[in-house]
Structure 1
Amino acid sequence: MKKTYKILIYALIFLGATVTGVSSAFAQKTIITGTVRDAVTKETLPYVSIFFNDTRIGTQTDIDGNFKISTNEDYNQLKFNYVGYEVLVKNIVVGQTQKVDVLLKSNAQSLNEVTIIAGKKRYSNKNNPAVELIRQVIEHKDENQPKAYETVQYKEYEKMLFSMSNISEKFKNKRMFRNYQFLFQEQDSTQIGGKNLLPIYIQEKLADQYLSFSPDKSKTVVLAEKQVQFDNRYIDNQGMKAYFDRMYQNINIYDNNISVMSNDFLSPIANSAPTFYKFFITDTLKNITPNVIELSFTPRNKGDMLFEGKIYITMDGNFAVQRASFGVNKNINLNFVRAMQIDLDFEKNVDKRYYLSKSTLIADFGINKNKGLGFTGERSVNYKEYKTNVEIPDTVFSGKKIEILAGAEKRSDDFWMKNRLDTIPEKQLKIYGNIDTLQNLPSFKRTMQIVTLLFAGYQNLGPYEIGPVNTFYSFNNVEGFRLRLGGRSTPEFSKRFYFENYAAYGFKDEKWKFFLSATYSLNNKSIYKFPQNYIRASFQRDTKIPGQELQFVQEDNFLLSFKRGVNDMLLYNDFYRVDYVREFENRFSYTVGFKKWSQTPAGGLVYSDASSNSYINRLTTSEFSVGLRYAKNEKFYQGKIYRTPIIDRYPIYNLKYTMGVKGLLGGEYNYHNIMGSIDKRFYVSQLGFTDVRLEGGYISGKLPFPLLAVHRANQTYAYQLNSYNLMNFLEFVSDHYASINIDHSFNGFFLNKIPLLNKLKLREIISFKAIYGGLRDENNPEKTNTGIYKMPTYENGMQRTYSLNKEPYMEGSVGLGNIFKFLRVDLVKRFNYLNNPEVSEWGIRTRVKLDF
């Protein structure tokens, strides 16, 4: 919920969801449904083309021969057209909802080139000419892709347009828009998004692309780019652009998997396509040279992550895709997507091969699948000036893979008019100015302030903002009720200096806690923007549960105050820190820091010397650290609190080294701590995706247990991806360890095939986590009692903290995701160490996450 790219999207959707009604009280809407059958066999006919007569407004029947079409215009006839059958025109009644069932008569003329497979006959790949044709396309895939050449270069023009869609007249005529009707645009009501649109974002980019395949190298030179700029107080423009780029990636139909809306879809010409798709030859186009066969395809299971539509195959021996038009079935397990349309056009090169000349992807989103305010995004890309097998100097590929020319963001309108590779309507160009006007509306500003407070948790007061609001109140067994209030400065205060602070008070322990930090930006950019380059000094006096590490949420979060089992261990900490952070455009970053840490146990946690049994009130360390991180091609969206990566298929590497120095500013121990991790998402086509995390660490030196690796535990009722959800806080410590976390989502692959249950659009999830480690004799109280602490115990004297023995700690879960489109529920099982006190073998955990 901290994702700033979603603030605008969901805010505008929710804002209008309650006020959206019918398009007009006086509009005459004609709605026709029905079924098309063979006049003789009475078998249903799939993919029959249906148009309002003398128009281009149309649809087609589904695999069962059913159709639905509507219009607000006064069309009174429907035309039905299907290869091998006579064209039929039916009269309809204007302004009414009606059912029209149609019987098509077979045409006496035979088509030698085409075999029609239709109706309710049992579908089979065997002896199916449509399948044989698609297998020829698959066999010739490598010959019809850019990698068939040694080098390729071309110009690329990209345009992305996003609009509020399906806007009712009531919403359009609200008082806040009364003087701003020019913001709205109209289109044919049968198009994706409906009649009324309110464009809110546009971006354009012109670039030269260079590809070499021996060896593989690529270079993008951005010649010009521009985009609508929102107020940075509410929207992260850079992050929003990165998110849209992730959702609307380049589409290569020749790839086995096509990434759309952050999901992988199996291509209709993937190697395994005949296993998951049904194919039908539905037309032959003789007026095109060479002749082209229209091949329709549909998923075998309508709920799978598959496309449906048509591809047009050349019959000149290339078996190349000449055109493609496809979308997704309405029953697909894809959240918020009302409609999607992808169109690909190919042109013949001088060597008689076909290259992609234009790609268009339009998707309409909404809370309600069928009606109400929504959000429509359109991305179109034009490709021109193809050159193949022309030598590209090595100097072209030197430097960054993406090079933005100086002044690219400041190109004149005249430059754009001369260099766009596609025409752009004048009304779309007005969006740049219209959005500036919209943002100056007082009502719009008030709405964005409220939404930012609800979703990001901060109330902007100009140079200072208060928040986050979800930390204002919480509770625990040691502090009792805890109140906290704080905030931070904004770029309006300074683009160089940033300050953050809070104060908190526990009514049970009657202690004040507080935090102060000062940050200086070395690159004169906001410290909340990429690339970061800053130095920060901070002091924090506050509590912490040992072993609790949270991602993308504050420990003060009220909902995390509810915990299972015995939860009375707490540390009072004083942190003095100085950190330097440096990020680079290639996604490599490093941090250098110094920390003095003084910790005092509280509640049920006691520090006592293993040899003398004397209590230790305070433990102090001084340490230097260096952290390295590399995430190839990483994109992310920046929130008010966190920067959240947009998960992709590239691995993320982390390495951190920490050195403790005895005698420096009261530090009591010398030690070395090295930790490394790798995070990677694996896409498994129709079986979903797997997130894997490998982690390991080693700590050298003779140390008490608080300075060892306290393994991440979770006693809340929230499912935490990188914690052990049935491990108790401070239950296990190690001075060397290795772990693996596996979380796999099937994206509904199995549940989509169960009648009735598939209506719920649930998604199956399984996970497994294991950690193997231990203690060297010098750090194990069972082996030595000099220079270390006793392991914590419960009030009854039973041991509370352990080392991992000869077997790893293991837990797993099975879960259901996408409940109400935002909730995940897991049944978690702990597999071993069940004899430890106060442990649970089973548990139910939940997680809130919005997914497409």
Structure 2
Amino acid sequence: MKSLPIRHHYPLVVYILLVMLGVPAAAIAQITTIEGTVTNAKTKEKLPFVSVSVPQAALGTNTDEEGHYTLRIPAQYTSVVFTYLGYRTITKTLVAGVPQEINVQLTPSSALLNEVVIKGSKPPRYRNKENPAVALIRQVIEHKEQNRPESYDYVEYEKYEKMAFSFSNLSEKFKNKKIFRNYQFLFKKQDSTAAGGVNILPVYLEEKLNKEYYRKNPEKLKSVALGTKQVQFDKHFIDNEGLSTYFNRMYQDIDIYDNNIALLGNQLLSPIANNSPTFYQFFITDTLKQHTPQLIELSFLPRTKGDMLFKGKLYVTLDGNFAVQQADLSVDKRINLNFIKSLDASLEFAENPDKRYHLSKTDLAIDFGLSQNKGSGFYGERVVTYRNYLINKPQPASIYDGPALVANDSAANRPATFWQQNRPDSLSQIEKAIYTNVDTLQTIKSFRRTLELFTFVLSGYKGFGPFEIGPANTFYSFNPVEGFRLRLGGRTTPELSKRIYFETYSAYGFKDQKWKYYLSSTYSLNNKSIYTFPQNFIRASFQRDTKIPGQELEFVQEDNFLLSFKRGVNDKWLYNDIYRLDYVHEFNNHFSYTLGFKKWQQSPAGGLYFQNIQNDRINPIPNLNTTELMLSLRWAPKETFYQGKLYRSPIISPNPIFTARFSAGVKGFFNGEYNYQNVSLNATKRFYLSQLGHSDVTLEGGYIFGQVPFPLLDIHRANQTYSYQLNSYNLMNFLEFSSDHYASLFIDHNFNGFFFNKLPLIKHLKLREVASLKLLYGGIREENNPNAHPELYQFLRDAQGQPTTFALGSQPYAEASVGVANIFKLFRLDIVKRLTYLDNPNVAEWGLRGRFKFDF
């Protein structure tokens, strides 16, 4: 059974829950934070792109367009240098460890003033041609391949990750609320200029130590988990594994040498992408001659404000390698990202013996909040350290074989001494306290009651130890056949058994006065949860319930209350008795197969009828019985999941997914009435198009061998709800088209605000443009055409005798839509246009459809 949509947005549930409590900033000890404004000493004009640096540490930033800067410096450094072309360099002394404001006035260099000809206040137009900064970045781009770790045949290293989250900028009023009187031990104070504000509430910490092996040919990256440690929330309320997966998805590794950098589910163009000079402006802002080798400080910013691009600085070596020795990345608040108050990433590279550079450390810090201004939020930081590099020293082939990630047997149970010896840096006092504080927090009854309430409201399930009841939004619904419908169901949890799972529900329709029910039993064959990759289980089930032919919903039950509201005539239903036996086996290479047996009895209800013509007389048929044997093959290379206790949801990535299904009806086997074979193939992939967003493309085709009645044909996925369904035809009526052979193409494109971001006023709303196209080619062979064979089930007709079920002709069914997504950061609204078969009865040419969609 498919689960509620909120289960597939579980990380959103966690986020909302945490926001109700506060949000994280792991305080960093011994840091000096300075900020201020740089101006022209004579004209008082604010100076943009002034270099503010600590040369000894290769740290720095640039002033923004208003001359303002902020810089966080390790306390051992007590001086900062301000450099600007045409002005005298100034060095300022700092007070270590104390936040301070340093405003600087730069004096123009007299040696250069005689050479300056002032023609007006308007700055010269930025150009790529004859621009030394652009010439330099083109050299960096040209040398990208030789500077990547993948340029070596073999690489291995240790990778340590630390991820910390806190509620941030909590007000004193919030902190002192009565509900938190028992929680005061959790709150920490820090400097007002530190990330997260004065009051923070650390709530999550995760550490990992991996050994990674890279082989170029054949290409393989193998990770061996040596140690893992994370804060453990009560498993009744929060799926710790799912939480970890989601946080790691948000804070992915940053590869500056990739053309596009994955961030928060989006792809931002790298400043050293092949076409970066088209979208970025570059400026040479400093030369670090005291550094060996010498470095050029190259500042960059988007050409168009609001584009999904970075701003920041690159430090490029002048030793002939044109390698990036350090990169500082941030984003403008105006770009089309949701809930981001600030984002800063720092990448450091260390020199190899062959004078090339490898990534040695990354630090990605994101401050989230419902508002981009002041207010409570959620601060997270992920620091990754790479060390003990070995270059071109191959290991035995067995090291590279097998799954991409392998966990050492004792990785999750390492003692404190292991982490003390293997951490590159010790934990701060605040970080050390997170593990014990969260454990203490979960013993407080009021906190547990709050978690229980939010779990039920957001997931729809109420837990009772080994069993949970839900989902809540199916308790009540209505439709033309059953009328008012009540349903109650639930499922077992791993507390009952980690190998055996049961799921059931019972429903009653007050109009048809019939009971419906479902029962399934699943047994895990690999001693793992049936929701955990790789799956290996056998499931037996029986369902007696109603269904709309051709309705295929995404992640929701058909009796969801909100789907009770439908457009047009919606009276064609089925009563189904379905017996199933399925065996599912997944492999570590993400290939899986499913073997199945299905006995299905369909009985028409409402306006749906089964009838044929015999001896020129209409012959009603009470039910249709089939028995099928099924085989499904699926390959999803490098697929990852949001993994939870009782669910898992695939994470969309650029990797394709291929599915092949074969089913065979067997006449005479368990009362099966027809022999036939049904073959279908499906391929889906997301294509990232850099600044133009991304497209989700699905190709599908099917063919039925044998003579079958129309209910056994491919009844194409229609949608008569007001919800926009990505994988259905949103203006096709239920049971409008059937085929015994077909091919389809779905394209759904999200421009990520590429056009809206350039429109005055509109750009502040952070709306995103979406467009889709759906094409369906198909038809029915002569042997399956009811008009040519009256002994077959006849197509449906309305009360006036007009046909309402059709075969596709020479032209395809086509519909297209344009819409706006990210409305209030949660909704998508599409205007859908049906392009063909407009003469069919009860057809809507236009439609307005909505969809809940959460994105960063």
- Scaled by the length of structure 1, what TM-score is found? 0.91
Q: Which residue identity lines up with residue 851 of structure 2 in the other structure?
A: R
1:766 and 1:812 in contact (8 A); partners too: yes
1:692 and 1:742 in contact (8 A); partners too: yes
2:748 and 2:773 in contact (8 A); partners too: yes
1:304 and 1:333 in contact (8 A); partners too: yes
1:281 and 1:296 in contact (8 A); partners too: yes
Residue in 2 that maps onto 1:586: 589
Q: Which residue identity lines up with residue 305 of structure 1 in the other structure?
A: M
Aligned counterparts of 2:565 and 2:645: Cα–Cα separation in 1: 25
Change (3 A) 1:372 1:187: same
Residue in 2 that maps onto 1:61: 63
Deviations 1:726-772 (A, max 9, x none): 00000001111111100011101111011111011011111111111
Residue in 2 that maps onto 1:12: 18
Give % identity.
58
2:682 and 2:699 in contact (8 A); partners too: yes
Residue in 1 that maps onto 2:545: 542
Residue in 1 that maps onto 2:30: none
Change (3 A) 1:772 1:639: farther
Change (3 A) 1:641 1:220: closer
Residue in 1 that maps onto 2:519: 516
2:210 and 2:226 in contact (8 A); partners too: yes
Change (3 A) 1:232 1:590: farther
Q: Which residue identity lines up with residue 327 of structure 1 in the other structure?
A: S
Q: How many residues align?
A: 818
2:363 and 2:383 in contact (8 A); partners too: yes
How far apart are 1:238 and its partner, in Å?
A: 2.2
Aligned counterparts of 2:214 and 2:263: Cα–Cα separation in 1: 23
How far apart are 1:624 and its partner, in Å?
A: 1.7
SS of the residue corresponding to residue 727 of structure 2 reads coil
Residue in 1 that maps onto 2:505: 502
Residue in 1 that maps onto 2:797: 793
Task: Mark the runs of 5 or more structure 1 residues left unpaired by the alignment.
Answer: 21-29, 71-76, 91-98, 112-117
Aligned counterparts of 1:755 and 1:31: Cα–Cα separation in 2: 34
Deviations 1:221-280 (A, max 9, x none): 222222222223222222222222222221111111111111111111111111111111
Task: Mark the runs of 5 or more structure 2 residues left unpaired by the alignment.
Answer: 1-5, 25-32, 73-78, 93-100, 114-120
Aligned counterparts of 2:134 and 2:53: Cα–Cα separation in 1: 28
Residue in 2 that maps onto 1:706: 711
Q: Which residue identity lines up with residue 766 of structure 1 in the other structure?
A: A
**Partner residue of 2:625 out of 616, 620, 623:** 620
Residue in 2 that maps onto 1:406: 409
1:305 and 1:333 in contact (8 A); partners too: yes
Q: CA RMSD in A?
A: 2.9
How far apart are 1:38 and its partner, in Å?
A: 4.3
**Partner residue of 1:219 out of 201, 219, 222:** 222
Change (3 A) 1:781 1:344: same
Residue in 2 that maps onto 1:782: 787
> Which is further off, 755-764 or 439-448?
439-448
Q: Which residue identity lines up with residue 355 of structure 2 in the other structure?
A: K
Change (3 A) 1:159 1:103: closer
Q: Which residue identity lines up with residue 335 of structure 1 in the other structure?
A: N
Aligned counterparts of 1:383 and 1:51: Cα–Cα separation in 2: 25
Residue in 2 that maps onto 1:807: 811
Query: Would you say 1:140 and 2:143 are equivalent positions?
Result: yes
2:718 and 2:735 in contact (8 A); partners too: yes
Matching of residues 378-777 of structure 1 within 5 Å? 378-611=381-614, 612-638=617-643, 642-777=647-782
Residue in 2 that maps onto 1:122: 125
SS of the residue corresponding to residue 453 of structure 2 reads helix
Aligned counterparts of 1:821 and 1:451: Cα–Cα separation in 2: 21
Aligned counterparts of 1:742 and 1:807: Cα–Cα separation in 2: 19
Q: Which residue identity lines up with residue 818 of structure 1 in the other structure?
A: N
Deviations 1:270-313 (A, max 9, x none): 11111111111222222212221211111111211110111111
Q: Which residue identity lines up with residue 663 of structure 1 in the other structure?
A: G
- Scaled by the length of structure 2, what TM-score is found? 0.90
How far apart are 1:89 and its partner, in Å?
A: 11
How far apart are 1:196 and its partner, in Å?
A: 2.7
Residue in 2 that maps onto 1:25: none
Q: Which residue identity lines up with residue 47 of structure 1 in the other structure?
A: F
Aligned counterparts of 2:124 and 2:482: Cα–Cα separation in 1: 71
Aligned counterparts of 1:388 and 1:363: Cα–Cα separation in 2: 33
How far apart are 1:638 and its partner, in Å?
A: 4.1
Deviations 1:633-662 (A, max 9, x none): 111124677532110111111111111121
**Partner residue of 1:822 out of 822, 826, 834:** 826
Aligned counterparts of 1:57 and 1:469: Cα–Cα separation in 2: 53
How far apart are 1:176 and its partner, in Å?
A: 4.5
SS of the residue corresponding to residue 378 of structure 1 reads strand
Aligned counterparts of 1:841 and 1:417: Cα–Cα separation in 2: 67
How far apart are 1:409 and its partner, in Å?
A: 1.6
2:740 and 2:779 in contact (8 A); partners too: yes
Residue in 1 that maps onto 2:855: 851
Aligned counterparts of 2:815 and 2:264: Cα–Cα separation in 1: 32
2:767 and 2:821 in contact (8 A); partners too: yes
Matching of residues 360-379 of structure 1 within 5 Å? 360-379=363-382
1:259 and 1:265 in contact (8 A); partners too: yes
Aligned counterparts of 2:655 and 2:829: Cα–Cα separation in 1: 27
How far apart are 1:85 and its partner, in Å?
A: 2.6
Query: Would you say 1:47 and 2:49 are equivalent positions?
Result: yes
2:143 and 2:321 in contact (8 A); partners too: yes
1:532 and 1:581 in contact (8 A); partners too: yes
2:239 and 2:645 in contact (8 A); partners too: no
How far apart are 1:816 and its partner, in Å?
A: 0.7
1:44 and 1:120 in contact (8 A); partners too: no
2:206 and 2:229 in contact (8 A); partners too: yes
